[in-house]
Amino acid sequence: MHLHGSRCTGGESSARRRVGSVVARSRRCRWLLLLALACVIGVTQERPARAQALTVPPPDQTRYVQRLNATLPLSSTFTDDKGRPTRLGAYFGNRPVVLVLGYFHCPNLCSTLMDGVLESLAAIDLPPHAYRVLGVSIDPSETPELAARKKASYAPVLANSGVQLTLLTGAKPQVETLAHSVGFEYVYDRELQQYRHPAGFVVATPDGRISHYFMGVRFDPRDVRLALIDASSQRIGSPVDQLLLLCSHYDPVTGRYSAQVMTGVRALSLTVVAALGIWLWRAARGRRGAA
């Protein structure tokens, strides 16, 4: 009788331990369920807010008319920041090019724009020799000396990132031809003695075709990285980058990659939520049966 009672007591103790284990796992899964729901909500809300923060409206009567796949005037002649005549095509051939139009004595917008471009490039984790950055003045009165002084002002960012930046000046016909090919509309305000122009930049393929537009003055490094990889015809980047390109969609209106990859993350999160819900339901049934 004593032995029989001991076995019964041991069985009850084992059952209690099993029930306690199920309860503990259930509590952990409730926390995982809450975490998964938070991820779904966060993914749904994060990207639109960031898109709003990274774009600014262009000045009145100026804009980018997007001409994707248009060819840049590679035969046009400019002068670099060292005073040397050069063809635009000399900067193309084996890597994508980030092209920024503006002017060097611009009181605020152009410097803010170039700062945003260089800061985003410094954060993309691609080798500097994988792309080139060109800044072209839309003001035909600006000189190579002014371009050199402007380039020197970016020295701290360039030193930290290793970005290869060249600033070009040119005559009015060459500047207008380049601006027209890019769809860069600008006007000179004689009253303010300033150029009114849109804010943004262009990514061009190694053979000089327009691949991507980015609007605003601050840019998501992930989007810039994907644009460079895309423009380079997959000659740079990792397998993870290629997967992101397959899962992402480039929106030429906003100049951003979005939607598809976020949809995939949402679907995965919802699947996890559903699986945890089923597990909790089965665990509850098992607990009631053990009791």
The neighbouring-strand residues paired with 134 are: 99, 166
Domain range for 217 is: 57-253
Render 16-83 in DSSP notation, one character per residue: HHHHHHHHHHHHHHHHHHHHHHHHHHHHHHHHHHHHHHT--PPPTT-EE---TTPBP-TT-EEE-TTS
Residue 142 and residue 71 in one domain: yes
Residue 34 and residue 148 in one domain: no
Residue 159 and residue 22 in one domain: no
Q: Which of 104-108, 159-163, 211-215 is predicted least confidently?
A: 159-163
Kindly state the percentage of the chain with pLDDT values over 70.
64
| Residue with the larger pLDDT of the pair 236 and 92 | 92
Instruction: Inform me whether the pLDDT recorded for 66 exceeds 80.
Output: yes
Alpha carbon distance 244, 257 (integer Å) = 10
Give pLDDT, residue 154.
93
3-state secondary structure of 130: helix
Residue 144 and residue 223 in one domain: yes
Give pLDDT, residue 277.
75
Residue 218 and residue 97 in one domain: yes
Residue 262 banded pLDDT, cuts 50, 70, 90: low
| Residue with the larger pLDDT of the pair 179 and 279 | 179
Report the number of distinct structural domains present in the chain: 2
Write the CATH number for 175: 3.40.30.10
Give pLDDT, residue 161.
82
Give pLDDT, residue 11.
54
Residue 78 and residue 95 in one domain: yes
Give pLDDT, residue 275.
75
Give pLDDT, residue 5.
46
Residue 174 and residue 110 in one domain: yes
Instruction: Inform me whether the pLDDT recorded for 80 exceeds 90.
Output: yes
Residue 148 and residue 175 in one domain: yes
Residue 14 and residue 79 in one domain: no
Instruction: Inform me whether the pLDDT recorded for 276 exceeds 70.
Output: yes
pTM: 0.66
